[in-house]
Amino acid sequence: MTKFYASYPEGRPRRLRRTAGMRALVRETSLEPRHLIQAVILREEADPSEVKALDGVKRMTPAEAAEAAVRARDLGLGGLALFPYTKTSDRDASGSLAFDEGNLMGRAAQAIKEAAPEMVIIGDVALDPYTDHGHDGLMGEDGTILNDPTIEALCRQALALARCGFDMVAPSDMMDGRVGRIRKALDGEAFEDTGILSYAVKYASVFYGPYRDAVGSRGALKGDKRTYQMDPANALEGLKEAALDISEGADMVMVKPGLPYLDMITRVKDKFGAPTVAFQVSGEYAMLKEASKAGAFDFQSAMMEALICFRRAGADAVITYAAEEMAGLL
């Protein structure tokens, strides 16, 4: 419907901005703790907790993750997204630790479900925390990342996560066809209720740098990931990727990174209407943190504005390293 507005001086938009109460009355976008998902980096007891590239972010043991889950439940957060830190000595060419139900992810999931069974937990499905070459998939002799053999490995990984109690698995690898195969594998073992949050629109971005430090893969990465993650210059390709994943059975789709790709969040949400998640990635968090330390602005105010922008763009939920902190303010 076409809308007509009175011109100045009869029409004065500032009337609706005059007081805090008036601004709240006409606010178009809401941000609540349930819209936020806490990103959690896991560690073994003997591994360092500090992430030098992410000020304020600590790696957590499974017991600490369970405590975080209780806090998240009490704050009303939407969920926890778990990622493992893996030492070089525990990595190999096939990423075999990914399939072990007794690994960090499995033990953390079980500890969380014992402490806060109602808390939604999301398990990352990709081989990069486990491979000695740092890639999300299996590597051929010529350095090519192999699509179809990788899918078989991802299905094994997704099943391991489902058996450990994850509510959703989140394939972040960007292999073609993996969502449909994972859905079939889950259904085949009676995990019909395990959801799939697909990293549908994932760009080959420099903003992932601090995360690679956090999970121990920066030094391991051989080459780059541009043959399977998307070109930042492309938008229509992102819609194709989202359409394919939805058609294969994705319950939710993600755009990653976040703020530099707000246009893609809006396009995906408007085009498909599917539950859409944004990932405020490590580089985005680090930029806000470092700028605040330099005196550019207050971190919490800047973070709040960024999260509201995600919601305004169409994101139903946002994965962020600051979820718990911001939920406390909300």
Catalytic residue among 3, 52, 113, 202: 202
Q: Label the pairing between strands 195-202 and 252-256.
A: parallel
Rounded Cα–Cα distance for residues 69 and 54 (Å): 20
Quote the tokens at residue 185. Answer: 């594998």
- Among 155, 126, 150, 130, smallest CA distance to 139 is for 150
- Rounded CA separation 42/154 (Å): 20
To the question of whether residue 189 is assigned a binding role by annotation, the answer is: no
- 202 catalytically annotated: yes
Structure tokens of 271?
A: 């085009």
Active site residue 256: yes
The residues, ordered by sequence, that sit 6+ positions from 324 with a Cβ below 8 Å of its Cβ are: 38, 68, 71, 72, 75, 77
- C-alpha to C-alpha distance for 299 and 51, rounded to whole angstroms: 18
**CB distance 122 to 170 below 8 Å:** yes
Burial class (CB in 10 A: 0-12, 13-18, 19+), 14: exposed
Closest CA to 152 of 189, 120, 177, 119: 177
Query: Which is catalytic among the residues 113, 256, 269, 289?
Result: 256
Known binding-site positions for Mg(2+): 241
**What is the set of active-site residues?**
202, 256
Known binding-site positions: 241
